Amino acid sequence: MTDKAKLALSLLDLTSLSVDDSDASIQRLCSKAITPYTAVAAVCVFPPFIKVCKEALKDKGVRFAAVANFPSGSEGLEAAIAQTKTIVELGGTEVDVVVPYQAWIAGDKTSAPELVRACKDACGDKVSLKVILESGAFEDLTSLYELSIAAINAGADFIKTSTGKTDVSATLETAETMLKAIKGSGKPCGFKASGGIRTHAQAVEYMDLAADIMGTDWVNSKTFRFGASGLLDDLLNVLGHQKQVADEGGY
């Protein structure tokens, strides 16, 4: 059990995306990124806080992610491109961008892949693009599968379940759909489960699902992530570490 808890820690994107975020609250978030067992994979924040993260975690091996077109996915192509470029310029090493999933569900099959392609161009080769599909909005899993394939073909480095800002976030059913799309695409694309994953037991379910579909070795920080902050405490508790207080702005 402890081995999987340590692995889950290393897959964690420690996240705070709250309207109440401040330099002080993000510094507190960053103070939790290096645990007695391992560092988390990344911290994920709003773009203005990238500088705070870089200063707090310099040379710690933690990546810096920020969100674009967030959370609605409806700010438009040019805004998404501009926000992505800003994140890159500020020193972000990962961009988590929301696609226009509502337009996709309504029948527009061009806006989402166009946005992914353009944002990946803005990222270049050194910055990873994690594409948020808002999987909980999909009643039709075939449509979610098709959007997953479209995002992968357009250059997504990861496909990600959720913003954590909707009524339904990650589920095992939608995760399975997205993982099967990655498998079916035959392309190098990772998966990020975010929203509502708060316990070690839940994390293990997602890790086991990914291992069953993609192989055990695939479950590593280069191809698998959790978007969460609440998860941190439970993982540390499983490992016998004193409980910390999770930031309220996380997933």
Q: Catalytic residue numbers?
A: 96, 160, 192
Are 58 and 64 contacting, i.e. CB atoms less than 8 angstroms apart?
no
- CA nearest neighbour of 231 among 249, 209, 210, 246: 246
